[in-house]
Structure 1
Amino acid sequence: MVDFNAVRAIDIHTHAEEPCGTHADDGYDDFQQHMKQYFRMGHSPQPTVAETAQYFRERNIAACIFPVDAERETGFRRFNNYEVAEQAAEHSDILIPFASIDPAKGKIGAREARDLVENHGVQGFKFHPTMQGFEPNDRSAYVLYEAIAETGKPALFHTGQTGVGAGMPGGMGMKLRYSNPMLIDDVAADFPEMPIILAHPSFPWQEEALAVATHKPNVYIDLSGWSPKYFPPILVRYANTLLKHKMLFGSDWPAITPDRWLSDFEQIDIRPEVRPLILKDNARRLLGA
């Protein structure tokens, strides 16, 4: 298990991106190359779970790692949650497994969520409304939320613009409006006991995200997916004040590396007493660690 006293930070947002048996003809490799160009990655966009663990181990940073189940919407076969949990367990000194389930799977998805927590050590769930093609407040998703709420584990939702499909014809069919944080405000109101994380600075809805996190006690914000040097001033202001106990470090590995994120984080105007809250303490409390 992760020694939370020893690690210097907890990265709440890392991706399991390895091909997991898919073939180039399903479009996944082309998609990943566009992601590499969009984020200007100088490394492989598809590290294995073992490679990810080694990277984070060398930096003494714990990492919450998850796949994204978007096979219905994209045609890319998912990285099976049980595989991710099994591989994360092999690196349990540094990796914390999250899972991802398409809400369209209804009751079978809810059954999977309960099993993953009860029997496979999963500590949270990732949703990407734009990539999965659903409105977070659609009542059809509630059967899955109910199962997650029962477990007490957090649900992490992508918010704002996305690099997924960026520059591809029609944005690969991705609808940005699905990731407006105001849609997740409905979920936070209807599931007040379920911890919710709004992932990323929520451009172009940054103020909406701050409003939701300020209003709903169960809502947090992770700061992944952007270099901190691009954070809007209002986000930095709230991180230093009203939401200092609800902001979470996240990189968006492998799109953005913790090395880059942490280096840029050092350069922005975050109060000294707030930095440890963002880097580790808030996530540790949220995870019950």
Structure 2
Amino acid sequence: MVADGAEHPLRGALASAGYEVLPFRGTAEAVLAHVPRTVPLTVTASASKGTSATLDLTERLTAEGYRVAPHLSARMLRDAAELHEVVERLRAAGTTSVFVVGGDAKDAGDFPDARSLLQALRESDHPFTDIGIAGYPEGHASLDAATLERSLTEKAAMAHHVVTQICFDPAAIVAWAREVAAMGVHLPVRVGVPGAVAREKLLRISAGIGVGESARFLRKQPGLLRRFFTPHGYDPGPVVDGLVGELGSPGHHLVGLHLFTFNDVAGTEAWRRRALRRLGDR
């Protein structure tokens, strides 16, 4: 329930939601056509596309006036020298936010995981004032719970916010967030939710990133295909509505939304605007 005269708890979350996009041909044009410059963006890192694709799109969108955080994938960076080149390129672009992940590249260089890359950044001269890390409300396919807990605690000391992996159960998200707070991790947490994505878009994206990379991603996202392959695609409404009253509540640090668009930025932005209009009509 929302008290008379009080702002609906989802309004701020929807207004400040960030979009995640993939560094594919045509992504920049789609973002420019459909996404307001007030929407913060992240650009994923893909082993099949390489780090340069992420940096190219970050530079392009930053130059167009967006606030962009590229993914820095630890296993895709060869060594400290390459990390320095990446950091300097982002400094020149005016980038102040990054999202650090371990990544799925088969052969790692000097950075086998996100923690090692975060440590290297901490020991370097970098321009990043906002560093994000991943959280896993439903666990990780290749890491046990104790390892995940230790990893999150170590990484949180070198980061500024957490974005959860996709989870379709609001109760599980809230329970996990409370456990994280009880562990002593007090970073703000943005809930990762798929945007309004058509199934045809998901098929094209899956083909574009390659079979192996798609399979690795889907192993980490239980139920994703089943939920997307409905006649009209995926609707994030039920998950988002399930968080009403939880965003900003005491006992955890859930503060906002991070929408995985799978490059269906037109559909996701249309859904966000409809949701904001409905809130305004109440």
TM-score (norm 2): 0.57
Aligned residues: 214
Please say if residues 126 and 156 of structure 1, whose CA atoms lie closer than 8 Å, have aligned partners that are also in contact: yes
Kept after mapping to 1: 8 A contact 2:103/2:113: no
Q: Name 2:67's counterpart in structure 1.
A: 96
Determine the C-alpha separation between the residues in 1 that align with 2:134 and 2:255. Answer: 14
1:257 maps to a residue whose letter is T
Higher radius of gyration, 1 or 2: 2
Q: Does 1:118 align with 2:91?
A: yes
Report the aligned-residue RMSD: 4.3
Query: Which of the residues 260, 267, 281 maps onto 2:271?
Result: 260
Q: Does 1:220 align with 2:192?
A: no
8 Å contact from structure 2 (residues 189, 254) kept in 1? yes
CA contact (8 A) 1:223 1:247 kept: no
Q: Check if 1:18 corresponds to 2:27.
A: no
**Is there any run of 5+ residues in structure 1 with no aligned partner, and where?**
1-7, 20-46, 163-174, 273-289
Amino acid at match of 2:130: K
Alpha-carbon distance in structure 1 between the residues aligned to 2:84 and 2:157:
21
Percent same amino acid among aligned pairs?
Answer: 8
Question: Paired residue for 2:57?
Answer: 84
1:155 aligns with 2:166: no
Match of residue 49 from structure 1: 28
Higher relative contact order (CA 8 A, sep 6+): 2
Tell me the distance in 1 between the aligned counterparts of 2:276 and 2:150: 28
Measured after TM superposition, the shift of residue 262 of structure 1 is 5.1
Where does residue 208 of structure 1 map in the other structure?
A: 176
Structure 1 segment 172-187 matched on structure 2, within 5 A: 176-177=141-142, 183=148, 186-187=151-152
Q: Please state how far the C-alpha of 1:216 moved relative to its aligned partner.
A: 1.7
Unaligned runs of 5+ in 2: 1-13, 196-235
Measure how far apart 1:120 and its partner are: 1.6
Q: Secondary structure at the match of 1:238?
A: coil
Change (3 A) 1:242 1:251: same
Deviation at 1:52, TM superposition (A): 0.6
| Code of the aligned partner of 2:180 | V
Offset, 1:143 = 3.6
CA distance in structure 2 between the aligned counterparts of 1:193 and 1:88, rounded to whole angstroms: 26
In 1, distance between residues paired with 2:251 and 2:89?
Answer: 31
Q: 1:77 to 1:224 in 2, by over 3 A?
A: same
Distance in 2, Cα, partners of 1:157 & 1:192: 13
